[in-house]
Amino acid sequence: MTQTNPIFHRLYRVLFLALISSYSFLHYACKTNPEAAPTGVVHNNAMVVSARIEASRIGMEVLKKGGNAFDAMIATEIALAAAYPFAGNLGGGGFMVYRMADGQTGTLDYREKAPLAAHRDMYLDSLGNPDPKLSRIGATAVGVPGTIAGIFAVHEKFGSLPMEELLAPTIALCEQGVVVTEKQAARLENYRDQILEVNGDSTVFSNSCKPGDTLRYAALAQTLRRISEGGRDEFYMGETAQVLSQFMKKRGGYITMEDLAQYEAVWRDPVTFQYRDLNVISMGPPSSGGITMQQILKMMEPYDVSDMGHHSAAGIQLFTEAARRAYADRNYYLGDPDFVEIPVSEITDPDYLQERMENYNPLKDTPSETISKGEIAMYESSETTHYSIVDQFGNAISATTTLNGAYGSKLYVQELGFFLNNEMDDFSAKPGEPNMFGLIGAEANSIAPGKRMLSSMTPTIVEKDGELWLVVGTPGGSTIITAVTQTILNVYEYGLSMQQAVEAPRFHHQWLPDMIIFEPEGFPESLKDSLITRGYIINQDRTPIIGKVDAIRVLKDGRLEAGADVRGDDAASGF
Ligand code: GLY
């Protein structure tokens, strides 16, 4: 059999890709997709979409009384700590991406940090093996919380209403109580034994509750009142800091007064890139979200994605192959930019990304073992939460906030009224060993004092023709990046409305485990059979849902359409 000369083969591939790139560029430059009629909630002026109607309403009321999107961000973020304690928090952290009405963009990193006493091998046992319980459950798992520093940083730079006015609605909500939904009751029941094991029966969550019950949070109201009076320093240096650090000491955790006093949120440049005629603005490291999404979309860009058809075997295959390669890079190269050198321009270079797709074969699977870099194998989680805001002035906020696992470390500070995160598990406890999502990290994400752990959170804003178009994000651990990317493609390439794009079934591939994970509902058997024929392994047992996307689309006439995910209790509020 004649062997093709590898140099000719390579040349042929480069020419082929150059040809399809130019075809695609010209094709799309001339293509104008008609705007899909909205099917979600529509408002004329402003919108907040979050995991709970109580939080969306609180954000919306702030806008209605003249506050801007940043004021609403503060109010919504804090409201989620009461309305959605599964992931909303004072004891965790997050990322915010913003776009001002005049087009200025930026991001805020209020991600947790490793305590000063942390060290590379802190979760290894005497045999040098990771002890997952230490990084996942209870006081040893907790990173220094960033949420309160985050809201005060936002307030200082962009806030227009007094902080007391922004915290007051949540204080009232804590006192009136939050009505338990069916989904919330089921979640609490799922995790009650673990919460009891960590905290005993002293917390508000120790009794079983049913839909329609009301949960009140007197201690959280008290903490928020103190923060309202004493400001940021109350949480990081005042009475709250003292209670927290003493509690941590008693429970065997690492966080001290010094850790709290040193915490700072950081303003960072966004990851910004073009996908066809869209301008995508997303979160950079220490989140992997923006760069990994950029890699996926830029690897797909040379192909005629919309002509492949929504949820066609060809479309899913192309997405999967791009995601496989992007996730392989994600874990090898990415970490906290304040600690590690990240080759951002190299791994987002168009030639590099074309090379990554050189062995893509539209007729068959590319086994992950043949893809170099990346040692990643993480599983989904639906914890974390996202909210999207557009205000009546045209400012937009995309924010994702988290405790990491469901109810974080499960450790609840009864005196202060909030759960503490288990974000330390997002570090790689030992390069090559899996974390709670099966994530096998690399050196770039090893533990060091004061370092931020790598995240997948992908709060994103998309511009079209230079104007604000989409605000989007989701929880979902490692599946966040693919869920956000698919939502954008659903609207842009496949002409779905915002609500349809959010509701559409989702799939996920992350290099390892080498399988396409499908939501069990919504994909026809014939499609899965066709992918199996091409060599793909299909998994539908991993997770009942992938992400809970909350998004906003700006329609051509300026009205706003919400996409509130029916997978949760997510809801929009606007005017
Ligand atoms: N803790 C989930 C994430 O940051 O990706």
Domain spans of the chain? 46-177+216-270+376-574
Name residue 62's beta-bridge partners. none
Residue 402 CA, closest ligand 1 atom number: 1
Nearest CA among 137, 92, 120 for reference residue 433: 120
Give the pLDDT of residue 569. Answer: 97
Give the pLDDT of residue 541. Answer: 84
- What whole-number distance in Å separates Cα of residue 426 and Cα of residue 419? 17
If you take atom 3 of ligand 1, which residue's CA is the nearest one?
A: 455
Beta-sheet pairing, 516-518 with 538-539: parallel
Low pLDDT (below 50) residues in the chain: 1-4, 6-11, 14, 25-26, 29-30, 374-380
pLDDT tens for residues 237-284?
Answer: 999 999 999 999 999 999 999 999 999 999 999 999 999 999 999 999
Interval between CA 481 and ligand 1 midpoint (Å): 11
Interval between CA 456 and ligand 1 midpoint (Å): 5
Structural tokens at position 21: 């790139």
Amino acid at 429: A
Residue 404 CA, closest ligand 1 atom number: 1
pLDDT tens for residues 288-331?
Answer: 999 999 999 999 999 999 999 999 999 999 999 999 999 999 98
Enclosing H/E stretch for 527: helix 525-533
The alpha-helical segments, DSSP class H, found in 251-340 are 257-262, 289-300, 305-308, 313-333
Interval between CA 431 and ligand 1 midpoint (Å): 18
The set of protein residues with a Cβ atom below 6 angstroms from ligand 1 is 384, 402, 404, 426, 455-457, 477
Mutating to test ligand 1, I would choose from 89, 291, 480, 510 the residue with most ligand atoms within 8 A of its C-beta, which is 480
Interval between CA 404 and ligand 1 midpoint (Å): 6
The answer to whether 18 and 358 have CB atoms below 8 angstroms apart is no
DSSP codes, 86-126: TT--SSSEEEEEEE-TTS-EEEEEE--B--TT--TTTTB-T
Q: How many CB atoms lie within 10 A of CB 467?
A: 12
Residue 480 CA, closest ligand 1 atom number: 5
DSSP codes, 198-261: HHTT-STTSS---TT-EE--HHHHHHHHHHHHH-HHHHHTSHHHHHHHHHHHHTT----HHHHH
If you take atom 4 of ligand 1, which residue's CA is the nearest one?
A: 455
If you take atom 1 of ligand 1, which residue's CA is the nearest one?
A: 404
Give the pLDDT of residue 378. Answer: 38
Q: Is 384 labeled as catalytic in the residue annotation?
A: yes
Interval between CA 246 and ligand 1 midpoint (Å): 27
Single out the catalytic residue among 256, 384, 385, 482. 384
The answer to whether 155 and 163 have CB atoms below 8 angstroms apart is yes
Residue with tokens 């705007």: 35
Give the pLDDT of residue 513. Answer: 85
Enclosing H/E stretch for 7: helix 6-30
Structural tokens at position 317: 């295959």
Mutating to test ligand 1, I would choose from 334, 383, 401, 404 the residue with most ligand atoms within 8 A of its C-beta, which is 404
- What whole-number distance in Å separates Cα of residue 318 and Cα of residue 341? 30
Q: Is 196 buried (19+), middle (13-18) or exposed (0-12) by CB count in 10 A?
A: middle
Nearest CA among 275, 274, 297, 294 for reference residue 283: 294
Residue 454 CA, closest ligand 1 atom number: 4
Mutating to test ligand 1, I would choose from 147, 283, 381, 456 the residue with most ligand atoms within 8 A of its C-beta, which is 456
Interval between CA 238 and ligand 1 midpoint (Å): 28
Give the pLDDT of residue 88. Answer: 98
CATH topology of domain 46-177+216-270+376-574: Glutamine Phosphoribosylpyrophosphate, subunit 1, domain 1 (3.60.20)
Binding residues for L-glutamate, by number, are 111, 402-404, 426, 455-456, 477
- What whole-number distance in Å separates Cα of residue 305 and Cα of residue 219? 52
The answer to whether 408 and 199 have CB atoms below 8 angstroms apart is no
What is the chain's alpha carbon radius of gyration, rounded to the nearest angstrom?
23
Assign 308 to helix, strand or coil: helix
Q: Is 194 buried (19+), middle (13-18) or exposed (0-12) by CB count in 10 A?
A: middle
The answer to whether 439 and 331 have CB atoms below 8 angstroms apart is yes
